[in-house]
Structure 1
Amino acid sequence: MTDADAVPELSRWQRTMVSDGTLAVECLERGDGPGVILLPEIPGIMPGTIELGDLLVDHGFTVVMPSLFGVPGRRPGLLGQVAAVAKLCVMAEFRAFSLDLRGQVTDFLRLVAGDLAARTHGRGVGIVGMCFTGGFAIATAVTTDEILVTVVSQPAAPFPVSPSRARSVGVPPAALERYAASRADATPCVLGLRFTQDARSGDARMVALERHLGRAARVVRIPSGDDSADGTPKGAHSVLTGGVREDPPNRAFLEREQMFEFLRERLAPAGASDARA
């Protein structure tokens, strides 16, 4: 039985092996419209990520999901999840618990962004990173002109082994500030999201985005635990997937809808009023 048989939703996605000569990664693609790179959370491209990708497609985007770890659609046991973390830790981005702007994954994602920008009709492409891949998203964005908009959701790396690491998104402050200075207009191009009581993604990282990106960043803190009026639990972590409740809609659901609009406004071709197909 193939993965597509085990997870029928995968049968709608085109699967291609992409290599930059150093890293070879299976990429899943679907949709028509401006391009968006969707990076999975650990342990990989699970049903929640696939659902988010399908929603992006429904909102008029061409979506590419690189399978950076794990097997798409297959939920590993505890040992498999540990192996996924271990794989990340030996990559250049995570050596010494930090990200490297010229590491394996960011180099690969720049290739994906350039290819996607060349064959889609948006003004550029977007990138969405969640949890451990939040840093990959911003590290790629600050080093390529093809990415016009970045979503950093509940960033959980580098590992918070010190106060400086706890407030880092894995990109040197000077690089963030240069990136912000290169965006001359006052329109935010980076969206940061987290739940207020999320212990795995501390608010210090959101503060750092605000401080070093200034007007280029828009940060949304979604009430959870004792802060929440809609029942979002203290342990809520995944803003765009597991933390969403559709009926009745909670704040995470509403902010996810706003994220779709955030991407559309910045990526739609000039003169287009709506990027939906």
Structure 2
Amino acid sequence: MRPLSAAADDRHPADDPITDFVRREVEVDGVVKTVYADGSGPAVVLMPEMPGISPDVLRLARWVRDAGFRVYVPSLFGTDGGYPTVERGEVVVRRACVSAEFRAFAGGGTSPVTAWLRGLARQAHAECGGPGVGAVGLCFTGNFALTMALEPAVIAPVVNHPSLPLDDPAGLELSAPDAVAVRERVDRDGLTVLAYRFAGDRWCTGQRFAAYRALLGEAFDGRVLSDTAANTDPPPFFRETVGTPHSVVTAHFVDGEGHPTVRARDEILAFLAERLLQEAGAGAVSRGGTRRS
């Protein structure tokens, strides 16, 4: 799916022009997609949440970049840099749900777009070097970070509030063969999968985290924040359409010293540093303010 065009009359005052990233066209197996990249160091692929590469997603990308990584943000849906209004969001969700690249509902298996994302990770690793690549998924792309671990270069998967399949709160957006292959990779290489959700999130429930735990065992580090930690004034799409605490380090993030969402962000950056920078003491991951699920 190509990004929706950002026509002049579709701009919102809060849109992000993305002027500090290099816009590239990346080809994987004959499929070309736009990718925004910046920074230096080991590669981290940061995938957007619904309804696209929003200013909040770009804020997270800048935090990753400034922590010592080269971050790659692929455009998978929506208006690049677009502020998530209700109108924009509903259009993007409808299109994504019928796109051949995504498997939004139960029984669909693994989304085909993850094969392209694994190719992006291979290219990013070749460009950046280092021990491997980090993969950070958000919402609609949350589970993609896990599926990307089928690529050997991906060694630091972070699964944030995975929402797929939309119609099965206990389901995982994985085909049966891919589920087996992921578990084998985790066991063989000793990977840990870091994950976050809010306790009352209706799109990423405790049942879903339980399904991850059943598949991955102790390799699944699922952390749950209280609903009271969520930003109470997120952009309209999240307030009116999502309608529940959901996006821990983006739309429902609260930028305050010692805040649980700030600790979650810092834990993610520390997780990436431990696995990709390999520096002594580079981020013992704090567990303050969260609980395992």
TM-score (norm 1): 0.84
Q: Give 1:204's aligned residue.
A: 207
Relative to structure 1, is the Cα distance of residues 97 and 173 closer, same or farther in structure 2, using a 3 angstrom cutoff? closer
CA contact under 8 A between 1:180 and 1:214: conserved in structure 2?
no
2:214 equivalent to 1:189? no
Q: Give 2:115's aligned residue.
A: 107
Q: Give the counterpart letter for 1:235 in structure 2.
A: T
Structure 2, unpaired ranges of 5+: 1-6, 233-242, 284-293
Q: Give the counterpart letter for 1:36 in structure 2.
A: V
State the identity %.
Answer: 27
2:34 equivalent to 1:26? yes
Q: Give 2:75's aligned residue.
A: 67
Output the CA distance in 1 between the equivalents of 2:223 and 2:128: 29
Output the CA distance in 2 between the equivalents of 1:100 and 1:92: 11
Output the CA distance in 2 between the equivalents of 1:7 and 1:95: 27
Shift of 1:75: 2.7
2:218 equivalent to 1:215? yes
Relative to structure 1, is the Cα distance of residues 95 and 212 closer, same or farther in structure 2, using a 3 angstrom cutoff? closer
Q: Give 1:153's aligned residue.
A: 160
Output the CA distance in 1 between the equivalents of 2:27 and 2:189: 36
Relative to structure 1, is the Cα distance of residues 265 and 224 closer, same or farther in structure 2, using a 3 angstrom cutoff? same
Relative to structure 1, is the Cα distance of residues 273 and 85 closer, same or farther in structure 2, using a 3 angstrom cutoff? same
Greater CA deviation, 63-72 or 85-94? Answer: 85-94
CA contact under 8 A between 2:135 and 2:154: conserved in structure 1?
yes
Which of 89, 106, 116 is the aligned partner of 1:81?
A: 89
Relative to structure 1, is the Cα distance of residues 244 and 147 closer, same or farther in structure 2, using a 3 angstrom cutoff? same
Output the CA distance in 2 between the equivalents of 1:38 and 1:49: 9
Structure 1, unpaired ranges of 5+: none
Relative to structure 1, is the Cα distance of residues 268 and 76 closer, same or farther in structure 2, using a 3 angstrom cutoff? closer
Shift of 1:34: 0.9
Output the CA distance in 1 between the equivalents of 2:130 and 2:165: 32
Shift of 1:169: 2.3
Q: Which deviations, in whole Å up to 9, do the C-alpha atoms of 1:96-127 show, x marking residues without a partner? A: 54554471x11210110000111113211011
Q: Give 1:260's aligned residue.
A: 269
Q: Which deviations, in whole Å up to 9, do the C-alpha atoms of 1:26-60 show, x marking residues without a partner? A: 10000101110000111111111111000001110
Relative to structure 1, is the Cα distance of residues 255 and 79 closer, same or farther in structure 2, using a 3 angstrom cutoff? closer
CA contact under 8 A between 1:180 and 1:216: conserved in structure 2?
no
Q: Which deviations, in whole Å up to 9, do the C-alpha atoms of 1:145-189 show, x marking residues without a partner? A: 1111111111111112xxxx3212211466334433333479552
Q: Give the counterpart letter for 1:119 in structure 2.
A: E
Output the CA distance in 2 between the equivalents of 1:7 and 1:76: 9
Q: Give the counterpart letter for 2:270 in structure 1.
A: E
Q: Give the counterpart letter for 2:26 in structure 1.
A: V
TM-score (norm 2): 0.79
